[in-house]
């Protein structure tokens, strides 16, 4: 039972354009959501998070949107840069519990 799903295995965008990565979840008890970025030969690194009491959180070029009614999470990167090329994982948890990860989306930003 995959409670967190990233339906797009890959995404390709042009430098300077917006990248939108999507994530869906099924467990309505999840109240904390995170995005991690992973470069080859490195571990995942934390990027941005959002609590279920919010619908948007912004950090520089990165914005996460949460639509609780649709159980949908998205990460917007604008403007996209070649250095953003990586695998992006979304993750979800209930308070104080362990994280459940999605399958990951490979983002490629073309110069």
Partner 1 sequence: DADVTQTPRNRITKTGKRIMLECSQTKGHDRMYWYRQDPGLGLRLIYYSFDVKDINKGEISDGYSVSRQAQAKFSLSLESAIPNQTALYFCATSAGLAGLQETQYFGPGTRLLVL
- Kindly list the residues in this chain that would bind partner 1 in the complex (CB under 8 A): 4, 6, 9, 31-32, 34, 36, 41-46, 49, 51, 89, 91, 93, 95-96, 98-99, 101-104
> CB of 43 within 8 A of CB of 36?
no
Q: Between 6 and 19, whose beta carbon lies closer to partner 1?
A: 6
Q: Shortest distance, CB of residue 15 to partner 1, whole angstroms? A: 27
Q: Between 57 and 79, whose beta carbon lies closer to partner 1?
A: 57
Pairing, β 105-110 against β 100-101:
unpaired
Q: Between 10 and 14, whose beta carbon lies closer to partner 1?
A: 10
* Residue 97: HSE in the Cβ half-sphere, 13 Å Cα cutoff: 13
Q: Shortest distance, CB of residue 102 to partner 1, whole angstroms? A: 5
Q: Taken in order 102, 106, 13, 58, is the CA torsion positive or negative?
A: positive
Q: What is the CA radius of gyration of the chain?
A: 13
Q: Shortest distance, CB of residue 11 to partner 1, whole angstroms? A: 15
Q: Shortest distance, CB of residue 90 to partner 1, whole angstroms? A: 9
> CB of 101 within 8 A of CB of 93?
no
Q: Between 40 and 60, whose beta carbon lies closer to partner 1?
A: 40
> CB of 65 within 8 A of CB of 49?
no
């Amino acid at each position: 039972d995959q409670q967190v799903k990233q339906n797009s295995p890959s995404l390709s965008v042009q430098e300077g354009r917006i990248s939108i990565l999507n994530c869906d979840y099924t467990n309505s008890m999840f109240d904390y959501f995170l995005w991690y970025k992973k470069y080859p030969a490195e571990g995942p690194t934390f990027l941005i998070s959002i609590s279920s009491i919010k619908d948007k959180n912004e950090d520089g070029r990165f914005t996460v949107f949460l639509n609780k009614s649709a159980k949908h999470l998205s990460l917007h990167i604008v403007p996209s840069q070649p250095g953003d090329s990586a695998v992006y994982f979304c993750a979800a948890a209930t308070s104080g519990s362990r994280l459940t990860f999605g399958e990951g989306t490979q983002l490629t930003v073309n110069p």
